[in-house]
Chains A and B, each alone.
Chain A
Amino acid sequence: MAELTVENLHLTYGTNPILKGVSMVLNRGEVVSLLGPSGSGKTTLLRAVGGLETPHKGTIRIGDKVVFDGDNGFEVPAEARNLGLVFQSYALWPHKTVFENVAFGLKLRKVSSGDIASRVKKALDELSLGHLADRYPHQLSGGQQQRVAIARALVYNPPVILMDEPLSNLDAKLREEARAWLRVLIVEMQLSALVVTHDQAEALAMSDRILLLNNGVIEQEGTPQEMYGNPRTLFTADFMGSNNRLKGRVAQVLDGRALLEGPGGWKLWGRARPGATAGAEGTGMIRLERVRIAEGPGENRVEPELTTSMFLGDKWEHVFHLGDTTLRAHSATHLAKGKHWIELPREDLWVF
Chain B
Amino acid sequence: MSATAADALPARPSPLSALVSWRALTILVTAAAVLGPLSLILYQSFLTAPFFDPTKQVGIGAYEFVFADSDFWKALGNSLVISTGMTLIAVPLGAMLAFVMERTDLPGKRWFEPLILVPSFVSPMVLSFGFVVAAGPVGFYTVWWQGLFGDAPWTLYTVPAMTVIAGLTHVPNVYVYASAALKSLGSDVEEAARVAGASPFRVALSVSLPLIMPSLLFSAVLVFFLGFELFGLPLVLGDPEGILVLSTYLYKLTNKLGTPSYHLMAAVAMCIVAITFPLVLLQRYLLQGARKYATIKGKAGRMKELPLGPWAWAAAALLGIFVFVTVIVPVSGIALRAFVTNWGFGVDLSEALTLDSFRFVFHEPTHTRAIWNTVLIGTVGGALTVACYTAIGFASHRRNDGWSRFLDYLVLVPRAVPGLLAGLAFLWVFLFFPPLTPLRTTIFSVWLAYSVVWLAYGMRLISSSLMQVSPELEEAGRSVGASRGVISRRITLPLIRAGLMGSWLLVFMIFEREYSTAVYLLAPGTEVIGAQLVSLWQGGAIDIVAALSLINIILVGIGLAIALRFGVKLRD
Contact = CB atoms under 8 A, between A and B. Distances in A.
Contacts of B298: 87, 89-92, 94
Given A79-B195, A91-B188, A152-B192, 13 more contacts: A50-B195, A51-B195, A52-B194, A52-B195, A77-B309, A87-B191, A91-B192, A92-B189, A92-B298, A94-B211, A95-B210, A104-B196, A153-B195
Contact of B197 (A50, A79, A94, A95): A79
Contacts of A156: 196-197
Given A89-B298, A93-B211, A152 B196 contact: yes
Interface string B190-209: 01111111110010001100
Nearest to B308: A77
Contact of B297 (A50, A52, A94): A94
A85 B195 contact: yes
A52 B168 CA distance: 34
B190 to A, nearest CB: 8
14 contacts: A51-B194, A52-B195, A80-B197, A83-B195, A85-B195, A89-B188, A89-B299, A91-B192, A92-B189, A93-B207, A93-B211, A94-B298, A104-B193, A156-B197
B294 to A, nearest CB: 11
A92 B202 CA distance: 16
Contacts of B213: 95
B293 to A, nearest CB: 8
Given A79-B199, A95-B213, A87 B194 contact: no
B198 A108 contact: yes
Nearest to B206: A104
Contacts of B193: 93, 104
Contacts of B252: none
B296 A94 contact: yes
B183 interface: no
A210 B210 CA distance: 40
Given A91-B188, A91-B298, A105 B211 contact: no
B296 A89 contact: no
A94 to B, nearest CB: 6
B188 A87 contact: yes
Contacts of A82: 197
B352 to A, nearest CB: 53
A53 interface: yes
B130 to A, nearest CB: 40
B489 interface: no
A34 to B, nearest CB: 17
Interface string B63-85: 00000000000000000000000
Contact of B189 (A50, A52, A91): A91
A109 interface: yes
B13 interface: no
Contacts of B304: 52-54
A183 interface: no
Contacts of B198: 79, 104, 108
Nearest to B309: A77
Interface in B191-237: 191-199, 202, 206-207, 210-211, 213
A78 interface: yes
Contacts of A81: 195
A135 interface: no
Contacts of A79: 194-199
Contacts of B194: 51-52, 77-79
A88 B194 CA distance: 16
B92 interface: no
Contact of A108 (B186, B196, B296, B309): B196
Interface residues of B, number: 26
B557 to A, nearest CB: 34
A327 B332 CA distance: 80
B307 interface: yes
A193 B481 CA distance: 59
A109 B307 contact: no
B195 A108 contact: no
Contacts of A95: 210-211, 213
A50 to B, nearest CB: 6
B303 to A, nearest CB: 10
Contacts of A315: none
Nearest to A78: B194
A79 B197 CA distance: 4
B335 to A, nearest CB: 40
A78 B190 CA distance: 11
5 pairs of A and B residues whose beta carbons are closest in the complex: A91-B188, A105-B196, A91-B192, A85-B195, A108-B197
Given A89-B298, A89-B299, A93-B211, A78 B191 contact: yes
A89 B296 CA distance: 12
A65 interface: no
A105 B299 CA distance: 21
A17 to B, nearest CB: 16
Most buried by B among A50, A91, A109: A91
A78 B301 CA distance: 18
B109 to A, nearest CB: 18
A171 B199 CA distance: 35
Contact of A109 (B189, B192, B197, B206): B197
A77 B188 CA distance: 16
A282 interface: no
A87 B309 contact: no
Interface string B283-326: 00000000000001111010010010100000000000000000
A108 B203 CA distance: 11
B192 A87 contact: yes
Contacts of B188: 87-89, 91
Nearest to B213: A95
Contacts of A138: 296
B202 A89 contact: no
A84 B195 contact: yes
Contacts of A108: 196-198, 202
Given A53-B304, A108-B202, A91 B309 contact: no
Nearest to A158: B195
Nearest to A137: B296
Contacts of A78: 191, 194-195
A108 B189 CA distance: 16
A109 B195 CA distance: 12
A50 B190 CA distance: 13
B196 A89 contact: no
B97 to A, nearest CB: 21
Given A93-B207, A95-B210, A105 B197 contact: yes
Interface in A90-127: 90-95, 104-105, 108-109
Interface in B156-190: 186, 188-189
Given A89-B299, A94-B297, A52 B191 contact: yes
A96 B352 CA distance: 62
B505 to A, nearest CB: 31
Nearest to A53: B304
Contacts of B297: 94
Contacts of B186: 89, 91
Interface centre among A51, A82, A84, A94 (most CB of B within 10 A): A94
A24 B171 CA distance: 49
Interface in B542-569: none
A83 B192 CA distance: 10
A81 B199 CA distance: 12
Contacts of A104: 193, 196, 198, 206
Contacts of A105: 196-197
Contacts of B191: 50, 52, 78, 85, 87, 91
Interface string A42-70: 00000000111110000000000000000
B404 to A, nearest CB: 30
A93 B192 contact: yes
Interface string B531-551: 000000000000000000000
Nearest to A149: B192
A93 B197 contact: no
A169 to B, nearest CB: 10
Contacts of A51: 194-195
